[in-house]
Amino acid sequence: MSEKSTVATSFKYSLDAAVMITQYSSLRSTFRINFIMFTLLCALIGGCNWHLLNDSRTPGDLVEHLTDAGFAGTFEFKFVGLIGAEDGGGFRGDNFSVEFYLFNDVSKAKSLEKTGLSGMRCYRNGNFVLFAHEAPEGLITAFTDW
């Protein structure tokens, strides 16, 4: 093998190595940019829906909150499938009668808040909807501030 061919072969391998390093560096940059974009997207989605991701409240928690706010009464579970709710029931006391339901889908809760149900006033707090048969303003405030 001649000295020229050895130099040419050595140069070819050096050039191939340089191309590989450049491609590797480009892949690292692309991966880094994609990783950053994915992280930002997850943060945006999580930030916009924090109330859905962290809303682990139950109807029992709401009854406790309303009782602490001075509205003592009895709670009875109701068949929730008719309105597409996950959980809920009626809560009655001396001067009030309300129903509240927990929905998996916040769009259902928003829809009921806008349209009402059988002429009842409806209020929404996250995935919960309160139907007010007879409710003093303080109870409504306690629900919406919960």
* Spatial distance between the Cα atoms of 124 and 114, rounded to a whole number of angstroms: 9
pTM for the structure as a whole? 0.59
pLDDT-derived band at 110, boundaries 50, 70, 90 = confident
SS3 77: strand
Q: How many helices (H) and strands (E) does the chain have?
A: 5, 5
- Tens of pLDDT, residue by residue over 42-56, are 666 655 544 444 468
Average pLDDT, the chain: 79
* Spatial distance between the Cα atoms of 84 and 7, rounded to a whole number of angstroms: 78
pLDDT-derived band at 15, boundaries 50, 70, 90 = low
- Tens of pLDDT, residue by residue over 78-105, are 888 888 888 999 999 999 999 999 988 8
- Tens of pLDDT, residue by residue over 16-42, are 666 667 766 666 667 667 667 677 666
